[in-house]
Amino acid sequence: MAAVSVTVWHGTDAEPFERFDPARIGDWKFGFWFAVERGTAEMFGANAAECRISLDRPYTITHARWNAIRDAHARDAGWFAAWRGRLVEAGHDGLHVLGDVFRTSRGLEFKDPEVYAVFDASRIEILEWHAAPTPGPR
């Protein structure tokens, strides 16, 4: 894939911060995750950072491939660390998972979101923080 510079969203329950810190990724240390759609990011926390990411050579896969990888290795942090290492060695600076729409035989549509994982925090610019909307009564 060619270089990308795109506005994306990062959801978190952490208080707003000024820069992404690699020490805060946690046990999975694959990268910093971003969604193209704000609503997707808001599912991951009460705060959503609107960001610009710039990647020179993201590795792009379909959502079907991503789901297969997660199904096969969901509990294996070591596998994901090794895969990230192989991607970096091959010159990739992030992962791009394409969005997809699944249509049922009854015409219902379910959306798999387009997401990015950024390996290097210096490729991320925080533009603005937003509080996720509070759900109202049902």
Give the model confidence (pLDDT) of 56-105 as tens digits: 999 999 999 999 999 999 889 899 999 999 999 999 999 999 998 878 88
In a domain, 74, yes or no: yes
Nearest by Cα to 6 from 60, 54, 38: 54
Domain count, the chain: 1
**Average pLDDT score over residue span 40-65:** 95
Phi, psi of 93 (to 5 degrees): -115, 10
In a domain, 17, yes or no: yes
pTM for the model: 0.89
Question: What is the domain range of residue 126?
Answer: 4-131
In a domain, 137, yes or no: no
With a CB cutoff of 8 Å and minimum separation 6, the contacts of 28 are 77, 80
User: Residue 138 pLDDT more than 60?
Assistant: no
In a domain, 136, yes or no: no
The residue with greater pLDDT, 87 or 136, is 87
DSSP E strand boundaries for the chain: 4-12, 32-35, 47-55, 59-61, 94-97, 100-103, 109-112, 115-118, 124-131
In a domain, 138, yes or no: no
Give the model confidence (pLDDT) of 6-32 as tens digits: 999 999 999 999 999 988 876 667 899
